[in-house]
Structure 1
Amino acid sequence: MRVFVSLLCVSLPLLLLGQISPKDSITQLDEIILVQNAVPKKATGITPSSKIAGQTFERFNPTDIPSAINQISGVYILSGAINTNRITVRGIGARTPYGTNKLRMYFNGIPVTNGTGSSTIEAFDFENLGAIEIIKGPKGTAHGSNLGGAFILDTKASIENKTQLTNTFSVSSYNMVKDNLTFSHAEDGLKLSLSYNHLETDGFRQNNEFERDGFLLNTQFRTGRNSSLSFLMNYIDYTAHIPSSINQTDFDEDPTRAASNWLAAKGYEANKYILTGLSYTHLFSQHLQNTTSIFYTYLDHYEPRPFNILDEFTNGFGFRTVFEGDLGKVQFTLGSEFYKDEYHWGTYQNLYEENNGNGSLQGTQLNDNIEFRRQFNLFGTLTYPITSAFLVQAGLNLNKTHYDYRDLFNQGAENASAERDFDAILLPNLGLNYQLKNGKIYANISRGFSNPSLEETLTPEGIINPVIAQETGISYELGSEWSLFEKRLTANIVLYRMNVKNLLVAQRVGEDQYIGRNAGETRHQGLELDLQYQGKLSRSLTFSPYLSYTLNDHSFLDFVDNDNDYSGNPLTGVPKNRLSSGIDFRHSNGFLLHLTHQFVDEIPLTDANTINSDSFNVFHMKLGFRTSLSQNISLGLNAGVNNIFNTNYAQSILINATGFSGSQPRYFYPGNGRNLFGGIQLNYVF
C-alpha cells in the first residue's frame, strides 16, 4: 500500500503536467535534456542500456554514489559503508554476502573486474566520473555476457580548447571533509586531466572512520591523422574501519553501534589500489576502426577481522581489442578480452583479546595460498537493417575460465593444491529494434553466465570442488522508449524474465564452514518503468519531475537445501517493490533545488522467508547556486540534508545470518541518520 501511495503522489503531477501546451517550451529546456544525453553510450548493442551523468550526479552529495545509481530502475546498491557496496541487477548478485560479483565493470573502456568476477565501485572517486552506463542482464555481448550485465564508468571529458583548474570542497556531518582538485587542458590533438582527491570522515557508527587519498591521470593525444593514444592511471589509498552488521535489538535501540567483536578488535581494512592502462585507436578507413588496450592492476589489502587477519595482494594484467565497422548495410563488432591475475593470500591469528584493549594484534600464520586465474572472452556482433526502421542484431560471446590454486602452507598429503578448468561456454544474443515516430520498441533474448567465486570453488578443507558448475541463464526482454510532447516527456518501460540454473549457494557444514554448491533454479522476472518530464513554471524557472519504479517478482523455482525445500519462496535479499522519485528546479539566475525520494519494500532475510527487513522511505534535499565572478572565474555553492525525517532504515542487509554461542543473527547495516552537507566549487579558466 505504501509503495502505491508513493507511486500515485509522483505520477499525478506527471500526468497533469502532460496537459501543458507544447507552446510553453523554452530554449533552456533543450539544454537541460542535453546535460544527460550529451554523453554517448558505449555499449555495442541495439537493445537500449541505461545511463546516468551530470544531471543525476548533482542531486546528491559527492560521497553518495549509491543514491545516484539507485535512481535507475532494476539496479540496487546495498551500501553497508563507503567501502562496503553490493550491486544487484534484476536480483542477480543478491546472494553475494559481501561485495559485488556476477557483472563486469569497465573504467574508460578498461576491464576492472578481477579473475573471479568481483568488482569494487568504491575504488573510484564519484566526482571524477562523467557518466555511468549500465547494461542490465547478459545482452552485453561485447562486455562479458554476465548474468548481472555490465557497468561502464567514464571519467569527465576535458572541454575542447580550454585550460581549467577546478577545486571542489565539501563538508558534512560526522566530521566529513572532502576535497577534489582537478586540472584539465584540451587543445588540438591533446587532452589532459589530472585530479587529486581526499576524503575523511568519522562515520555514523562506532568504528566507522574512513580516510582516502587518490590520484587520477587521464591523457589522450593524436599520434597521426587517423590514430590516437591514451594513458590512464588511477591510484587509491584508503583505510576504512569496519562496524559490520548488527542484530535486531541493536538496530532498533541504537543503530550507531558496531558489532561488539569488531569493535573490540578495532577491525578495519587498508587498501592500496592502482590501475594503469594504455589504449591505441586507429581509423583504418571510414568503414573500419580498432581500439586496443593493455592494462595492469595491483591491489594490496590488509584486513584484521575478529576471527583472523587477512593479508593479500593481487597482480592483474590483460588486454582488450575491439574492431568496429561496416560492410555495406551490415555493421559489425569483433573483439577479444583477456585477463589474468595472481592472487596471494594468507591468514593469521588475531590476538586482540590479549592486546589490552588496543585492538588487533597479528599472531601465528594459519595458511598461505596463491591462485592463478585467467579469463578469455571472444565476441562479435552483426547488425542488419531489414528496413529503415527495423534493425536486427545477432551476437556471440565465447568465455573460457581457468583457476590454478596452490597451497604453499601444507606439505605432503595435506597439501590441497589443485586446478579447475571450466569448459568453454557459448553465449548467444539476438536483439530486435523497431523505430516509431515518437519512440521505439525492442526485444532481446540472450544467454549469460556467472563464475563461482574463489570461496565457492573450495571445500572447507581448502580443496578444489571438482563438481561445482557455472551459473547459466537465458534472459527474455521486451521494452519500449517514448519521447512525447516535443521531447518534454520521456517514458521507458521494460518487461523481462530470466531463469537461472545451477544456482550457487553456500551450504553450511560446520559452525564457521561453508561449501559452495549448485542448488536448483531461480526465476527472475519483473517490470521497470522510468518517467521524466521537462516543464516550466515561468520564463525563468523550469522544473523536471521524474520517477523510476521496479517490480521484482523473483523466486526459487527449485531449491532444496538438505531437508529444507524452499521452492516457490521469494528470492532472498531482493525487495519486491522499489521506487525512486524526485523533482529538479532550475532558475535562470543559477539557483538549483533537488528533492529526491526512495522507497524500498521489505526484503526476505532468510531462504525460508521467516524474517524480513522493514520497508522504508527516505527523503533528501539539495540546494545549489552557480554564478560567474568574472570572465575567468565561476563559483558554485551547495547545501543539503540527507534523510530529512531521520528514518532508521537498513541500507544493506546480510542474508541467512547465523548467531553463534546464543547470540542473535546480525542481519542489518543501518543507513545514516539525518545529516547535513555543504560545499563550494571554484573554477578558473586560463
Structure 2
Amino acid sequence: MLLPQQLLAQGQYSGYVLQRDTEQPLQGVTITANTGEQTISNEQGYFTLATAAAAQRLVFSYVGYKTEVRPNPKVGQELRVLLQPSAASLQEVVISGYETNRPLLQTAGAVGIVGREVIGQFDESSVVRAVNTVPGVRMEERAPASYRISIRGSSLRSPYGIRNVKLYYNGIPFTEANGTSALNLMDAANIESIEVLKGPTGSIYGAGTGGTVLLEPRRAAAGEQSVEVGATTGSYGLRRYTATARIGGKHSSTLVQYAKQEYEGHRQQSAMDREVLLLSSEFSPSEKRTVSANILYSDLYYELPGALTQEQYEQDPHQARGGMYGSVAQNASMNQKSMVAGLKQEYTFSDRFRNTTALYGMHRFRDHPFNTDYERNTNQEVGGRTSFAYTAQLGSIEGTFTAGAEYQRGFEASRTYDNNGGKPDSLRTDDEVVAKTGFAFAQAEFKFPADVIATAALSLNDTKYEITRLHQASSGNYTYNRDFKAVLSPRVALLKRLTDQLSIHASVSSGFSPPTEEEILTSDGQLNEALEAEKGTSYEAGIRGFALQSRLTFDVVAYYFRLKESIVSRQDVSSVAVFRNVGSTDQKGIETSMGYTLLDDPEQQLSLLKVWASYTFSHFRFDEYQQNENNYSGNKLTGVAPHVATAGLDLSTRFGLYLHLTTNYSDKTPLNDENAVYTDSYIVAGGRVGIKRQLGQRFGLEVFGGADNVTDEKYSLGNDLNAFGGRYFQPAPGRNYYGGLALKYKL
C-alpha cells in the first residue's frame, strides 16, 4: 500500500535548454531541484534529472546567462527552457576563427561578429547593412546581388566581385581556387552568423592579406520540430518568400529552407531574381563523433546597370549606362546556376586530442553578357581541409597545438564572344583554366599563469594556374603556366587578461595574396604575365572588455599595415579592368565598437533598451606609386573613406514589440589614384519595427515593416574605381519601404 505513494513522491524530469535569441543548445547548464539533486545539460542541451520527491521548482543557471526558475514542473513532461543572455555575454561569444574556440575576451585579434539577431534587424534582402555595422569592414552592392567586400581597404583591386578576402561556410572553403568568392549564391536567410577576422590570417587560412569571413549555416535547434513561412514586399518591386522546415532531435538536426527573391530595380537594367535551396543537417553517431552536411543550390539572375558619369548621376540617377555599348542595349547581366555540397566531421579521440575534416564539391554554370563582350563558362571544383588539435599540460602551462592542411583544385571551361545586342556572336577566345592552391599550417598556443595567452603560427602557401588557350581569333593558341613561389606566412600574438572584464592584445602577422585568375586572364583575352603577388605585414594592438556593471561593452583596435607589390585596377577604353602592381601602400587605422545597455530585464514591460556605435578611422596612403610620368606617392588610397561611423538603437518589450534604428555615415572618398574625383559624404538612416507573438502553444507570428534611406539621401554605393571616361558612380536606392510577416508552427 505504501509503494505507490513513494513512486508518486519521486520525480523524473527531462528537456532541452536553449539560448533564447538563437535557440541554439547550451551545454553545461546546471539544473538544480529544490530537493537538492543536480545535473548538467549535454552538447545538445538535453538533460534528465531524477528526484527523491516531487520538485516544487527547478533552477537553471549558466555563467553569463540569467537564472531561470520553473515552478512546479510536471513529472514526465519534456521541458523546453530558453535562457536569456546577460548584456555582457552578448559580446562574450566563442570565437572559432583561430581554431582554439576561446571567448572573445581571450582572443588576441581583431574580430567582428554579426549574429542572427543583427541580420534580422534589416529586411534580409541582402546582408550588406548587417555587415556594415562591423568597424573596418565595408560591403558594397554595385547592383542588386553584385557584392564587394572590403576589409581594411582591400577593395582597391576589386572592380567587381570579392577578392583578397577568404570565405568559409561551415568550415568549408567558399572562396574558389581561382581566388574569387561568389557570396551572392546565398540568401541572407541561409546564414546564422558571420565572424570576420581582420588583417592577414594566412597562418590559419592561407593566401590573403585582406582578412577571412566565416559563415555559419542555419540549423534546427535540439528538440525543435517546426515549419515556418514568410513573405516580404517593398519598394522598387521587391518580393521575397521563404519556407523553412526544422527537425531537431537529441542526436540529430535537419533544416530545409527555400528562399525566392525578386526585385524590379531602382535603376534601368537593375532587376534581380534568385532562388536558393539549402539543406543543412548535423548528427552525432556517437559521443565522440559529429557529422554535418550542407547542400546549397542557387539559381541567380541579376542585371548590371553600369556606372554613370558625374553629369549623368546628377541629371538622373535612375538611368543605366547608355550608348551603343550601353547596359540596356547589350543586356548586361549575370545568369548563373550553382551547387555546393560539403561534408564535415568532428572527431574527439580523447579529452585532449581532436580532428576536424571537411570535404566539398562545387559546380557552376555562368552566362554573362557584358557591355563589350559575352562570357560563358563552367566551373567544377573539389577541395578539403583537415586540422588536428592536441592539448597538453606542461607543468603550470597549458598548451594547445594545432596542425593541418587545405587543398583546392578548380577547372574552368571559359569562352568569350562578341556581344551582339545581348546575344553571343563570333567566338573570341576559348580557354581551359586549372587552378590549384593549398597550404599547410601549424599553431601553438600557450596559456601562462597570470592570465597570459601567447600564440605562434605559421603556414606554407602555394598557388598555381595552368591556362590552355584552345582558340583566339587574333594570335592563335598557346599554353601558359604560372606557379607562384611558395610563401611562409607567420603570426605571433599575445594577450593579457587584466581583470575578468578587461583584456589587452597585440599581434604581428604577415600574408601574401596571389592574383586571381580574372586578374591574370582579363575579359578581353589578354594575359597579364607580369603581375606579382601582394605581400604585407600587419602590426596591431587592442583593448576590449566591459564596464559600468557590464552595461558598457567596448572593443578598440589600432593597426599599421604595410603592403608591397600592391595590386590596383584601372579601366581601359572598352571598360575592361586592367591590373598592375604599383609599389607599396601605407595603411594606419583605428577601429572602435561600443554598446551601452540601459535596460535588460525580460520581466519589465520595456525589456531591452540598448544603444551602440562603431567608428573606423583610416589613414591610407600610396607609399611608392609611379605610373609612367605620374607620381602618385603620398596620395590617398583609392576607394577608402577616412571616416566611417554607424550607430543604432535597439528596443524590445515583454509584449513582443521591437524597434531597431540604424544610421550610417561615410566621409568623402577618392575615386581615382590621382585623387582628382571624390564622392560626397553622406548619412543614411533607416529602421525596422515589428511584433513577435506566440499564439497558443503551437503558432508564432511576426509582423514587421521598415524603411531605408528615410531622408532620401543621394549617394553612390559600390563606385567604379579608376573608371575610364569618368564613369565612377553606381547610384544607390532612394527612400524605400518594406513590410512582411512570418508564421511559425510547432509540430
**2:732 is the counterpart of 1:671:** yes
Evaluate the alpha carbon distance shift between residue 26 and residue 229 of structure 1 in structure 2; reply closer, same or farther with a 3 A threshold: closer
Partners of 2:574 and 2:331 in 1: how far apart?
23
Whether the 8 Å contact between 2:497 and 2:503 is mirrored in structure 1 is yes
Deviations 1:432-453 (A, max 9, x none): 0000212100001000111112
Aligned to 1:635: 701
User: What TM-score, normalized by structure 2, do the two folds share?
Assistant: 0.84
Evaluate the alpha carbon distance shift between residue 163 and residue 540 of structure 1 in structure 2; reply closer, same or farther with a 3 A threshold: same
Partners of 1:504 and 1:128 in 2: how far apart?
33
> Which secondary structure does the structure 2 equivalent of 1:142 belong to?
helix
Aligned to 2:365: 300
Evaluate the alpha carbon distance shift between residue 94 and residue 32 of structure 1 in structure 2; reply closer, same or farther with a 3 A threshold: farther
Structure 2: gaps (5+ residues): 1-64, 69-82, 100-106
**Residue of structure 2 aligned with 1:489, choices 521, 545, 552:** 552
**Residue of structure 2 aligned with 1:610, choices 676, 685, 690:** 676
Aligned to 1:373: 435
Paired AA for residue 61 in structure 1: D
Partners of 1:677 and 1:488 in 2: how far apart?
33
**Residue of structure 2 aligned with 1:364, choices 421, 426, 435:** 426
Whether the 8 Å contact between 1:262 and 1:306 is mirrored in structure 2 is yes
Whether the 8 Å contact between 1:179 and 1:199 is mirrored in structure 2 is yes
Partners of 1:364 and 1:101 in 2: how far apart?
30
The range that moved more, 633-642 or 53-62, is 53-62
Partners of 1:81 and 1:513 in 2: how far apart?
18
Partners of 1:509 and 1:646 in 2: how far apart?
34
Whether the 8 Å contact between 1:416 and 1:463 is mirrored in structure 2 is no
**Residue of structure 2 aligned with 1:53, choices 108, 115, 118:** 115
Paired AA for residue 663 in structure 2: H
Partners of 1:544 and 1:92 in 2: how far apart?
32
Aligned to 2:201: 139
Pairwise CA distance, 1:325? 2.5
> Which secondary structure does the structure 1 equivalent of 2:313 belong to?
helix
Structure label with greater radius of gyration: 2
Aligned to 2:613: 547
**Residue of structure 2 aligned with 1:344, choices 377, 392, 413:** 413
Partners of 1:523 and 1:436 in 2: how far apart?
32
Pairwise CA distance, 1:412? 12
Partners of 2:190 and 2:371 in 1: how far apart?
35
> Which secondary structure does the structure 2 equivalent of 1:669 belong to?
coil
Matches within 5 A, 1:201-600: 201-260=263-322, 261-328=326-393, 329-352=398-421, 360-410=422-472, 414-437=476-499, 438-458=501-521, 462=525, 464-506=527-569, 516-536=579-599, 539-541=604-606, 542-600=608-666
Identity of aligned residues (%): 28
Paired AA for residue 305 in structure 2: P
Pairwise CA distance, 1:144? 2.3
Whether the 8 Å contact between 2:155 and 2:639 is mirrored in structure 1 is no
The range that moved more, 68-77 or 39-48, is 39-48
Structure 1: gaps (5+ residues): 1-24, 353-359, 660-664
The range that moved more, 257-266 or 71-80, is 257-266
Paired AA for residue 31 in structure 1: P
> Which secondary structure does the structure 2 equivalent of 1:166 belong to?
strand
**Residue of structure 2 aligned with 1:41, choices 81, 95, 105:** 95
Aligned to 2:47: none
Whether the 8 Å contact between 1:95 and 1:573 is mirrored in structure 2 is no
Whether the 8 Å contact between 2:267 and 2:319 is mirrored in structure 1 is yes
Pairwise CA distance, 1:504? 1.5
**2:181 is the counterpart of 1:181:** no
Evaluate the alpha carbon distance shift between residue 267 and residue 458 of structure 1 in structure 2; reply closer, same or farther with a 3 A threshold: closer
The range that moved more, 39-48 or 103-112, is 39-48
Partners of 1:94 and 1:506 in 2: how far apart?
7
Paired AA for residue 613 in structure 1: T
Moved over 6 A (4+): 25-29, 507-510
Pairwise CA distance, 1:536? 2.3
Whether the 8 Å contact between 1:430 and 1:444 is mirrored in structure 2 is yes
Deviations 1:180-205 (A, max 9, x none): 11111111211111101111110111
Evaluate the alpha carbon distance shift between residue 134 and residue 460 of structure 1 in structure 2; reply closer, same or farther with a 3 A threshold: closer
Evaluate the alpha carbon distance shift between residue 228 and residue 602 of structure 1 in structure 2; reply closer, same or farther with a 3 A threshold: same
> Which secondary structure does the structure 1 equivalent of 2:478 belong to?
coil
Deviations 1:30-57 (A, max 9, x none): 5364895586322116324211102211
Deviations 1:519-569 (A, max 9, x none): 210011100110001112994213110000000100100000111100000
Deviations 1:610-654 (A, max 9, x none): 110111000001101011111011111110111101111111201
Pairwise CA distance, 1:505? 2.9
The range that moved more, 39-48 or 142-151, is 39-48
Paired AA for residue 253 in structure 1: Q
Partners of 1:635 and 1:520 in 2: how far apart?
57
**Residue of structure 1 aligned with 2:744, choices 679, 683, 686:** 683
> Which secondary structure does the structure 1 equivalent of 2:85 belong to?
helix
Paired AA for residue 217 in structure 1: L
Pairwise CA distance, 1:502? 0.7
Query: RMSD value over aligned CA atoms?
Result: 2.2
> Which secondary structure does the structure 2 equivalent of 1:652 belong to?
coil
Pairwise CA distance, 1:465? 4.4
Whether the 8 Å contact between 1:139 and 1:445 is mirrored in structure 2 is no
Whether the 8 Å contact between 1:494 and 1:528 is mirrored in structure 2 is yes
Paired AA for residue 655 in structure 1: L
Evaluate the alpha carbon distance shift between residue 140 and residue 366 of structure 1 in structure 2; reply closer, same or farther with a 3 A threshold: closer
Pairwise CA distance, 1:508? 6.9
The range that moved more, 319-328 or 27-36, is 27-36
Evaluate the alpha carbon distance shift between residue 129 and residue 247 of structure 1 in structure 2; reply closer, same or farther with a 3 A threshold: same
**Matched positions, count:** 650
Partners of 2:522 and 2:303 in 1: how far apart?
30
Aligned to 2:14: none
> Which secondary structure does the structure 2 equivalent of 1:473 belong to?
strand
Partners of 1:442 and 1:378 in 2: how far apart?
26
Deviations 1:46-100 (A, max 9, x none): 3242111022112210113111000000000121122211100011123311111
Whether the 8 Å contact between 2:470 and 2:478 is mirrored in structure 1 is no
